[in-house]
Structures are given as C-alpha cells and as structure tokens.
Structure 1
Amino acid sequence: MGEMSKKRCVPCEAGALPLFKPQAEELLKKLDGWALSADAKKITKEYRFKDFAEALAFANRVGAIAEEEGHHPDLSISWGKVGIELSTHAIGGLSENDFILAAKIDEAPRA
C-alpha cells in the first residue's frame, strides 16, 4: 500500500480512457479491503467507528485529503460508518487517481 500513497493525483488529460478491468484488478491488489464493482467503474470500502462523532471526524479527514489531491470521493456517513466510493467521473470509470486516493484514505488516522 505504501507506494500508492506516495503518489499524487493528477488531472486526467482530454481523451483519457478509464482503466480496463484487468488493470483495475491489479491495482486493487495494492489496497486492503477495497472492492471493485462488477462493471469495474468504481471501488468502494466501508469503515466502522464506535459512534457518529468518530465517523464524522474521519469523513472530515477524508475531505481534507481529497481537497489536497484535487480528487473527490462520494461519501456516505451514518452512525458508526463511513462508506467511500471512488470513480473518476470525468472519464466515466476508474483512473490511477482513484487507487492513489484510496491508499491515502487508508493511511488517515481513524480516531
């Protein structure tokens, strides 16, 4: 996981194509606990916490990381849970940026 989190997200160039499923599956091996959607257009993970306040604090840390990287996940926050969905909307699928951001999120403090 370490090598992915050291990279930086870069804007997708015009005409960039989303990753093919085999490419996404290979990058997914570098992450812990993330799932690839059946259509290979997004990756998801759910984090669990002891209460809503911890979940919200983690979501705010994820937001700060996303702002720093210029790449933004879809978040769902509920009592004791934060769901994260990553996809590169500009290209209609996954890019390396999604895996970089996932690795950085995994390294974020949980409490």
Structure 2
Amino acid sequence: MESDLRKGRCQPCEGGVSALSAEAVEAGLRGLPGWQVVDGVLRREFHFNNFYETMAFVNAVAWIADREDHHPDLEVGYNRCVVRYSTHAVGGLTDNDLICARQVNVLLA
C-alpha cells in the first residue's frame, strides 16, 4: 500500500466512495510514521524551532491541500502545528487522507 500512497493523487470522493475499514486504516498507518487515528481522525503533531519554520511548514501543507483539493484541519501555534485529516463527505478516512499525510511526511524527510 505504501507504494500506492507514494504515487497516489487524491480522487474526488463525493458519492460512491466509502470510508476505509479499520483494517485498511491500520495497514495505511504502517507506512505513515508519526501519524495516529484519534476519534476517527488521522492526526500528527509537528514541532519546530520557531514561528518562521512553523509558518513555512503550514504554507507547504496549504500548497499540498490546494494541489490535491483535499484540505486538513490545522491547529497552529508558535512552534507547533497539528495536522488532522478526515474525509467529511464520507464520515471517515479515505485513501485521500493517507495520501495527503504521506505527502506531508515527505516535506520533512
């Protein structure tokens, strides 16, 4: 699955797409170090040295979100950012959430 996520691009998910099963989410998490599912939402907290680095990261995440047309919830502080993904249209997690989380991880690789 990790190779699929690495090459994957988000697909529109209104209508006809189901949320991933718990097993599929668990399998997807194996390729996403640092991410966890909390209350049905894919979540990771990132820490930085200062506000400038935090905002550079936030802007890069925003660029990914715009390109993929799949937008996370962001909680931003001086030296930290919490990124949360879920697919509201299906009421759960989809491949889009895993794909975007993988792309966010690549930012800091």
Q: Does the alignment reach a TM-score above 0.5? A: yes
Partner of 2:9: 8
Aligned partner of 1:54 in structure 2 is 53
> Considering only aligned residues, what root-mean-square deviation do their CA atoms show, in Å?
1.7
**Could you tell me how far apart the structure 2 residues matched to 1:2 and 1:54 are?**
28
CA distance in 1, matches of 2:13, 2:82: 25
Paired residue secondary structure (2:89): helix
State the identity %: 39
Which amino acid in 2 is paired with 1:35?
A: Q
CA distance in 2, matches of 1:69, 1:16: 17
Which residues of 2 match residues 28-67 of structure 1 at below 5 A?
Answer: 28-37=29-38, 39=39, 41-67=40-66
Offset at residue 103 of structure 1 (A): 0.3
When structure 1 is superposed on structure 2, of 5-14 and 70-79 the one drifting more is 5-14
Deviation at 1:5, TM superposition (A): 2.6
Runs of 4+ in 1 over 3 A off after TM superposition: none
Give TM-score, length-normalised by structure 2: 0.91
Shift of 1:45: 0.3
Query: Structure 2: where are the runs of 5+ without partners?
Result: none
One-letter identity of the residue aligned with 2:100: L
Quick check: 1-10 or 87-96, which moved more?
1-10
8 A Cα contact 1:35 1:43, kept in partner: yes
**TM-aligned CA deviation for residue 52 of structure 1:** 1.1
Task: Please give the secondary structure, in 1, of the residue aligned with 2:70.
Answer: coil
Task: Find the aligned partners of 1:50 and 1:5 in 2 and give their Cα distance.
Answer: 28
Q: 1:27 Cα deviation (Å)?
A: 0.7
Return the alpha-carbon distance in structure 2 between the equivalents of residues 109 and 19 of structure 1. 26
Instruction: State whether structure 2 residue 10 is matched by structure 1 residue 19.
Output: no
Unaligned 5+ residue runs, structure 1? none
The count of corresponding residues between Structure 1 and Structure 2 is 108
